[in-house]
Amino acid sequence: MEPIRIDPKRALDEALRAQQKLAASFKTLREVEDVDYGATDKEAIYREDKVVVYRYKGKGKPTAKAPILICYALVNRPYMVDLQDDRSLVKNLLALGEDVYIIDWGYPDGADRWLTLDDYINGYIRRCVDAVAKHAGVKKINLLGICQGGAFSLCFTALHQDKLQNLITMVTPVDFHTKENMLSHWTRGMDVDLFVDTLGNVPADLMNWCYLTLKPVRLNQQKYVAMLDILDDKVELENFLRMEKWIFDSPDQAGEAFRQFIKDFYQGNKLIKGGLKIGGQDVSLKAITIPVLNIFAEQDHLVPPSASRPLGDYIGTKDYTQLAFKGGHIGIYVSGRAQREVPPAIHEWLVKRTK
């Protein structure tokens, strides 16, 4: 190992720059207010328990023949798809003429402890789909499932595809036993019965701790050290704080649904191996015969491409398209590349298939 060489002049210059940044930060931090999120106006069109379906309001009348309903994961808040004005999947889809709705799952509490996957998939999602179709005045809609919400959307489509025209999945795990999936390796050895029987609902802080320890140095140290470089930039600092707010604004997980998801998906890998039942009904991906667009991120550490890519091998449709995006699990919504590439790809694919 070679000795560490320190250039005294360079070290002094860097120390001076850091001092100047810190001095400027006092002014910036006084100007930064509580960051908000959500770039697009929306209205509630359906409510049930803690679940709300919103319709986003674009600047013009939608030109799409059928609306899109976004089904987000339970583990984070759905406003990631509309985080801020220049980072919004929703805003860009609206600008292309799409009619966009979203399911907000809310924040489960003790009253939701016994909600099952049947309640979420055959219950809430089915009624949300019906509500959107009724509101839009159509018989069938397009469903866009994200991450865990994508897995739910696959199950829903397998059971109720008569209500849908097209299915889009984004960063969605399908094969839960690929070797690159660190979260899966951790979860497969977990005593989930003891876990849920002890905790009831799964605390959001515990879930966040697990996700952050997937990349402990990057997510717990490096990003905060890097924050020093933007302390004198109010806009960049607000962007950073808005993302931090999203990360730590996570809901608790309904205990019973969490137990089933871990057992059947992460441990049993039943979505592709078979044997998955939702509400007593067999779920087979072969039953999905409507067009499917599968979008995944090549640098995704939560849902590796190897977990998403196999979808085409297991579904029954002959109209299957997959799109590999150069980015990570969150970058697929908020990066500049995502704003340019993802919404047009979704829109162009839908235009060719929506009646």
Note whether 148 and 183 are within 8 A (CB): no
The Cα 287–Cα 271 span in angstroms is 12
* Residue 174: φ, ψ to 5°: -120, -50
Judge whether 147 counts as a catalytic residue.
Answer: yes
Neighbours of 266 (CB within 10 A): 20
Amino acid code (one letter) for 319: D
Cα torsion 83, 85, 88, 94: sign: positive
Q: CA end-to-end span of the chain, whole Å?
A: 66
Q: Report the C-alpha gap between 260 and 267 in whole angstroms.
A: 10
**Burial state string for 173-190 with b = 16 or more CB within 10 A and e = fewer than 16:** bbbbbbeebebbeebeee
User: From the candidates 71, 128, 147, 155, which is the catalytic residue?
Assistant: 147
Residue 10 CA to residue 16 CA, distance in Å, equals 10
- CA 167 – CA 152 distance, rounded (Å): 12
What positions carry a catalytic annotation? 147
